[in-house]
Amino acid sequence: MATSEYQSGNKPEAGLSGEHTISESRFKAYWKENLTLMGILLAIWFSVSFGAGILFRDVLDQVSIGGAPLGFWFAQQGAIYVFVILIFVYSFMMHRIERKYDVDDDEG
């Protein structure tokens, strides 16, 4: 359905392909959990990319990985690896949250 139909108060009927009925309280709980997860993952990403690569570089440079100082390694490689891992963690956790609130789009 078009967005304008939703704005005029016409809600889709239950059971249509890809649409779910969810109460307002469960909807708010779903979004609260979603935003909490995003906040946590963004804090981890910020800590690794900015913290390890810039703020704590002098401390981390005392250790080396493959001949490169650890602070440099985090700035160049580690933050990217952590970011990719966080994408998979987000996908896994959102799948669990969507199943919990019965808004999962996967069939089967």
pLDDT in tens, 64-95: 888 888 888 888 888 899 999 999 999 999 99
Assess if residue 5 is contained within a domain: no
Asked whether residue 41 is assigned to any structural domain, the reply reads yes
Is 10 a member of any domain? no
Q: How many domains does the chain have?
A: 1
In a domain, 14, yes or no: no
Instruction: Please state the pTM of the whole predicted model.
Output: 0.69
Residue 76 confidence (pLDDT)? 83
Range of the domain at 80: 22-100
Report residue 29 as tokens: 């709980």
φ, ψ for residue 25, nearest 5 deg: -65, -40
Q: What does the radius of gyration of the chain's CA atoms come to, in whole angstroms?
A: 21
Q: Domain for residue 13, yes or no?
A: no
Residue 8: CB atoms within 10 A of its CB come to 8
Q: Does residue 3 form part of some domain?
A: no
Which regions in the chain score pLDDT beneath 50?
Answer: 1-6, 8, 12-16
Does 32 reside within a domain?
yes
